[in-house]
Amino acid sequence: MKVADMRAYQRVLEQLRSRLRGDVNTMADAALGTKTNEPIGHSSTMPVHMADIGSDVFEQEFTLSLMENEEETLQLVEEALTRIRRKTFGSCVECDGIITKKRLEALPYASTCIRCAEILEKKASFQPRLPR
């Protein structure tokens, strides 16, 4: 991949990283209640009701799940920026083939070509699940 193209992707990835970091911090504050210093489900002007507490807990768990997804994406972005520094960005980490610009435009942190991504996805879906 040309250096100019890598620089363009680097800018996109850095902007995405910045946004994701802000999102994760905002969600952490919301989920953990660090802005209000009040326990979840408690407001000084409203009586505590079990349904309100349940809703608050559900929202907290949902937000924590979103945070986990955002953190995984942030890790993929960091890995893509590392590949740019190493000048391997745009090459599939599985087969060393070229990742198309169309794929990188849709998913700038993609580490595999479409063919390898499909193979990896099929392998993951056929993994036997261990009984609990």
C-alpha triplet 89, 115, 110: angle, nearest 5°: 30
Count of residues in the chain: 132
The verdict on residue 14 lying in a domain is yes
Packed helices 3-32 and 50-85: angle between N→C axes, nearest 10 degrees: 160
Average pLDDT, the chain: 81
CATH number at residue 83: 1.20.120.910
* Residue numbers of the domain that contains 41: 3-125
pLDDT tens digits along 52-102: 666 666 676 766 667 778 889 999 999 999 999 999 999 999 999 999 999
For residue 131, being part of any structural domain is answered with: no
Give domain status of residue 44, yes or no.
Answer: yes
Which of 125, 24, 114 minimizes the C-alpha distance to 77? 24
